[in-house]
Structures are given as structure tokens and as C-alpha cells.
Amino acid sequence: MTDIFEGLNEEQKKGVLATEGPVLILAGAGSGKTRVLTHRVAYLIQKGISPYNIMAITFTNKAAGEMRERIDNMVEFGSEAIWVATFHSSCVRILRRFADHIGYKTNFVIYDADDSKTLMKHVLKKLEIDEKRYSPKMFLNAISNAKNELMDPETFLQGAMGDFNEEKKGQVYREYQEQLRSNNAFDFDDLIMKTVELFKRDGEVLKYYQEKFHYVMVDEYQDTNTAQFELVRLLSGGRRNLCVVGDDDQSIYKFRGANIYNILNFEMHYPDATVIKLEQNYRSTKKILAAANDVIRNNNGRKEKTLWTENDEGEPISLRQFESAFEEAEFVVDDIERKARKNEFSFGQSAVLYRTNAQSRLLEECFIRENVPYRIVGGVNFYSRKEIKDVLAYLKTIDNAVDDIAVQRIINVPKRSIGQTTVNKAVMYADSCGISFYDAICDAENIPGIGSAANKLKGFVLLIQSFQSFLREGKTVPELVKEVIEQTGYVNELRLEGTDEAKGRIENIEELVSKAATYQNDAEEPTLSGFLEEVALVADIDTLDTSLERVTLMTLHSAKGLEFPNVYITGMEDGLFPNEMCMMDESEMEEERRLCYVGITRAKEHLTLTSSRMRMIRGETRFNNISCFVREIDEKNIKGDTYIPKKKPLVDPFDAPPAKESPNAELFKRAKPKNFGTKIEKNPLDYSEGDRVKHAKFGEGTVAMINDGGRDYEVTVDFDSAGTKKMFASFARLVKLN
């Protein structure tokens, strides 16, 4: 066995040596937490602990595999007996042995997302609930949230008393669980919830695992939900040798059910806990860490810690502000290409991060135009995404309807009760007559055996013909795209789902509207055919390098756990990052700030923050301030530069900076409101403290406090249902109640 303490700093050694009782290791970004966990396992074995009695839980199979490999390299033999697995795989192993103790057979099946959706459709049909009014995904999302909180159907229904919609969800939840049980199936969330149920119902099974696992270690503890917290508490309840490793400053998965209070309140649950802070960073330069510390210290709900490093000082963070999002994307690609030419950073050493998937569209187009190889992590090519392909299929059908694939793709999207049998009959008729599929359905009444389905096909044809008439009236391409979205009900159906995935798909459709508007402005003679041709050229170009030497594009959420020498964070604007809705809620703002902290700490040597003064969103041009997170960075840790775009901006509503001032000074005036030379006028409020107001999301409440925050008023409201919220007046749009 290798030297256990080789290469460890003093705090890391403490984490390895603190084996008894509850231990909280607060591991800052890039502080070597995986190293501590693997060395800790090796030390336990060196102490004489049987590998059979050690459990290490991670969140991903990749992390589990990496930990297993490191342990195998350190421990000469016996490491295969150590239980290294994800939460879900651990629960499957337990349930395979003891599921019969809670009324299931041990040969149960596990439903994936598609299986669950299919089952939900059966449930809704049985309960006579209209899918058009109540989306299956909406119910599945509510059930998932309930299971993450260990709430069974009966408990859910008890809490829903008097609320019609919540009671309906509870009824669906109850029937859904009954159907799962009758099929001897667990869905993904059941795996943890049912394991907890098993432990609580059968003391002997719980005692067996508590005796088996003398030492329990959990990685990424800040990402655990309520069910995972309870599972870990029960497993470690025998000897209480629980070691959790995580960073509250990197808790960014609230939308998935993660509960940051699991790590913040660890010492409340375990008063005798040993707390160790890993604050030495091995990844980034001093300047990058200073900027990260500048941002995250503005959060109140966190454990106090400050990252530091023995690495080089490094360059200050670069701040670049542009007139338009196109110039921003153009700069990022040009800068990456320039650095590659100068051998500063190769393509594979560079990464571009953004808040929403929709932001990738302009970047992808610029990368393709400049023939710079790239890859998207955690997503697909913008024009390959289902919702984009669906809308484009409508446009192709409207244009000339010769693309049978496009017509067949959307003939039942959104659903209009045209089944595959009907489609097959139309295809056979088209083939026999030597005509297109669209021409065949235009002649639906003559299709053999079509029956009553002919009327449904005619309805689709009339819809397409209405769009064609709309275009002949002289409407623009973006107007047509909006008309298609509105008349088909595509976006409305996504809204009914009520999931984060659906929201992301809506954002992508809005970005397509922006693309159409840009085309309409740029083209000399804009036409629908021209737009489809331009999109096809962007989407179909296949000249990218197939090697791994590619620029990485990903959302900030996807970037967690990764690192790159050269990083760009784009879209650093109020309303985009932080998200507009998050700016109205203090807890949501803190999560957005943690996301910014995660983004900054992905960079090892060089970090560039970019923003656009104007950005097209949903086909409309918006004018934005630089993100408040940028303004939280001390001026000594950041520098501003100018950029001369290749093309003149289409719209230039801003005056050029005075020639006598340096570019850096002008940029910092815009980035730092406290340095603005002119007074910013706030809109007066039509309500005051004590008034009753209404908010679009949180409902009615009473204004508790109003503070003058300089650029805007900070308003605290005690909402009747949503609790107390602190928000900016300009974003809150509160309406005074008479």
C-alpha cells in the first residue's frame, strides 16, 4: 500500500484521520476532496477495518468509477469488497434482497422516464382526466417532488385538503402508485423512498445494514434531497461514523430537489460533529479565486470559508461588453481561435459556459462559420433539438410540402388524433398514385379504408393552408413562426407540463423566433425559403474536427465538477444571469450566485466574462445592464477591454464613449453603478409599507418594508401563501390592491 499521507496538506490529513463519529468536510472548489475520500478509505483499511464494512456513496456512475479506480490503485487487495456506488444503485442492491418485506417481489422492474409517462397516460385515462388540460408530465413532476420529500399519496392528500388541483394530483399519485405495485415496478424516485420505507418498517433489515456498514461516506452532500438525507441518517445510525463531503457554495440543484439545509444544518443534526474546511485550491490562479470569493461572500446562507492558493497570481478576469449578442458570440469564437493560433490555449483547453441552452444558438453558428471545432455537453445541436425540428418541419410544410419526412413528423404534433395506421394508409395511397404524402392527405376522402380519419387529415391540411394564406398576406418570417406557435398550441402544451425541461424547450423556441427576426433584418430579400436554406446550411455543415481537440460548450449547471484552462462565461446580464424571476426572491438569488461561483471556479488560468447591451429574446430586442454578480467583483480583480466587431451592429442606440476617456474607464462606469456620472432615476412606487399588493407568482400579500437600494427599491412582502420574499421593485411589478 502506498504512503497514505503523501501529497496531502494539513487540513486534508485531518479529514483522513478523523474517522470516528460524524464528520463534515467542507471542501471548496478544486480543494482535492476526492483525494481525501480515497485516502480516508485507504487509511481505514490500514487501521484494520474490513473493506466489507466501508461504504462510499456518490451521485454519478462516473464519480463512483473514478473513486473505485483510485482506491484500487492505493489498496493492494480487498478493495473489491468496499461498497462504492451511487445512491440509486445502492438502493437497488438493498431492494433486490428485501423488497418482499414491503409487499413487492425481489424481481421488480425499474421504470425509466418513458415507462413512467406511458403508465401515467393509462392512469389519466382510467381517472377520466383530459391530457389536453392536465399534462402527464405535470403530474409526474409533482409526484417526483413528493417522493423526494418522502411524502406518500395519503400524506399528500391530507396536505391538499381544500385545494382542488392539489387533491387531483394526490388522486393521480395514489392511482399511479397502485399501478406500479400491481406491475411490481419502481420508478426512479421510488428506489430511495422505498428503501427508506423498508428501513423504517423492518428494524431487522435496518440493523443488518447498520452492522454491515461501520463507516459511511457521502460525496457531494450539498446535492442531497430529503429522501437521501434520511437514507444516509438511517444507514449510519448504528456506529454514527458518518463522513459527508461537500460545498454549500456549490449547491446549484434546487430545481432537482436538492436541499442545501442538509449541509448547512449538519451540526444541528449532529452536535458532536467534527468540521474540517478544505480551503486551499489547487486549480485556479489567485486572481480567479479572489473574484470567486468576491461574489460568493454576498450570500448569507453559507458556511464561512475563503478559497486561497499557492498558484500564480495570474491575470485579472477580462470583462467584455458588446452592443449585441452577435458581437459577443463573434468575439468569443475569434478570441478562442486567436489564442489557439498563438499557442496560448488549444481548442480543447477552452470552454464556453452560459445560463440557458438557448444561448448556444448564436455561438454554434459562429463556431461553424469560422470552422472552429466544438462540442456541446449536456445538450444537442440547437437545430437538432426536438422542439426546433418540429417548428422547422411546420415551416417546411408551409413552404412547399414536398418534404414527406417533415409533413409526417408534425401531422400529429401536437396530438390531433391522427394515428400511425392512418399515416400508413396515406403513405400507401401516395406511393400508388405517385404523389407526395401531402398531396395524398389533401385527397383524403379517396384514400381506401381511411374512414372517419379523413376529417382529421382535412383539418391538418386546412391548418397548413391557413398558414400559407397568412404568408401570402405579406407577413414576415418571424411573424409566421409566432403564428405557427400560437395556432398549433405547441408552446401552450409545453407550459402545461410545468417542468424545468419544458421551460428550457420554450426558451429554445423563443430563440428560434429571435433567429428568424435576425434573418428578416439581415437578408436583402427575406423569404421563408431563404430562411429555411440558411438554417439548413448551419445545421447540416459537417466539417467539424472529429478528434477530442474541440471547444466545449455547456450550461453552467453542466459544468459542475469540470475544469478548463481557458473559460468564457457569456450572457452576464441582469435578467439573464441572474435570471429575471430569481431576482425577485432572495433564496433564488443566492442559488444563482452559487451558480456564478461554480462558473468562475471552473477556470484554471484565464477567465473572460462577456455581456451584451442588447439581446434579442422571444423575437424582441431588450437592453440589459451588466450582471449584478460582475459588479460584486472588486475592481482590482477584473479588467475591461474594448472589442471592434467584424460587422457594424444592426442597431446602435448608444453613444460612443468620449475619446479622452480610456476604454477601461468607460466600461467600468457601466459595470459599476456607484461610479456612474449621472443619477439613475427610479420609477416612483404607487404603494407603501403596510399596503396590500398582488404578485403574478406569489399572489397577495402585505408590504413589510421598502428600502432605497440606489438603482432600485428593495421591497419585502409578507405573502399570504408564499411566505416572506425580498425583491427588486422593477422586477416584482407589484400591483396595489384597493
Residues identified as active-site: 33-34, 219-220, 250, 602
> Which residue, chain included where needed, has cell 427575406?
526
Closest-CA residue to 394 (of 481, 515, 322): 481
Find all residues with CB under 8 Å of 363, minimum gap 6, and list them. Answer: 329, 332, 333, 352, 354, 374, 553, 570
Closest-CA residue to 607 (of 642, 570, 662): 570
Check the CA dihedral 724-725-729-730 and report its sign: negative
Bridge partners of 727, per DSSP, are 715
Bridge partners of 277, per DSSP, are 26
- The full DSSP string for 117-182 is HHHHHHHHHHTT--TTTS-HHHHHHHHHHHHHTT--HHHHHHHTTT-HHHHHHHHHHHHHHHHHHH
Cα–Cα distance measured from residue 683 to residue 266, given in angstroms and rounded to the nearest whole number: 44
Is the distance from CB of 274 to CB of 22 less than 8 angstroms? yes
Report phi then psi at 368, rounded to 5. Answer: -70, -45
Cα–Cα distance measured from residue 246 to residue 222, given in angstroms and rounded to the nearest whole number: 5
Cα–Cα distance measured from residue 178 to residue 118, given in angstroms and rounded to the nearest whole number: 15
Relative to beta strand 350-354, strand 274-278 is unpaired
Give the number of other CB atoms < 10 A from CB of residue 636.
11
> For residue 276, what is its C-alpha cell?
474540517
Q: By 3-state DSSP, what share of the chain in percent is helix, strand and coil, each rounded to 5?
A: 50, 15, 35
> Which residue, chain included where needed, has cell 408552446?
491
Cα–Cα distance measured from residue 368 to residue 691, given in angstroms and rounded to the nearest whole number: 55
> For residue 262, what is its C-alpha cell?
442538509
- The full DSSP string for 532-560 is HHHHHHHHH------SS--EEEEEHHHHT
Peptide bond into 578 cis (omega under 30): yes
Cα–Cα distance measured from residue 702 to residue 716, given in angstroms and rounded to the nearest whole number: 9
Bridge partners of 555, per DSSP, are 354
3-state secondary structure of 380: coil
Cα–Cα distance measured from residue 284 to residue 291, given in angstroms and rounded to the nearest whole number: 11
Cα–Cα distance measured from residue 645 to residue 183, given in angstroms and rounded to the nearest whole number: 61
Element (H, E) at 38: helix 33-46
Peptide bond into 414 cis (omega under 30): yes
Closest-CA residue to 541 (of 338, 393, 372): 372
Cα–Cα distance measured from residue 13 to residue 695, given in angstroms and rounded to the nearest whole number: 51
Cα–Cα distance measured from residue 632 to residue 317, given in angstroms and rounded to the nearest whole number: 13
Report phi then psi at 676, rounded to 5. Answer: -60, 140
Is the distance from CB of 245 to CB of 36 less than 8 angstroms? yes
3-state secondary structure of 3: coil
Cα–Cα distance measured from residue 579 to residue 577, given in angstroms and rounded to the nearest whole number: 5
Is the distance from CB of 187 to CB of 126 less than 8 angstroms? no
Query: Half-sphere exposure (CA, 13 Å, Cβ side) for 635?
Result: 11
Cα–Cα distance measured from residue 605 to residue 287, given in angstroms and rounded to the nearest whole number: 9
Cα–Cα distance measured from residue 230 to residue 327, given in angstroms and rounded to the nearest whole number: 49
Cα–Cα distance measured from residue 533 to residue 59, given in angstroms and rounded to the nearest whole number: 43
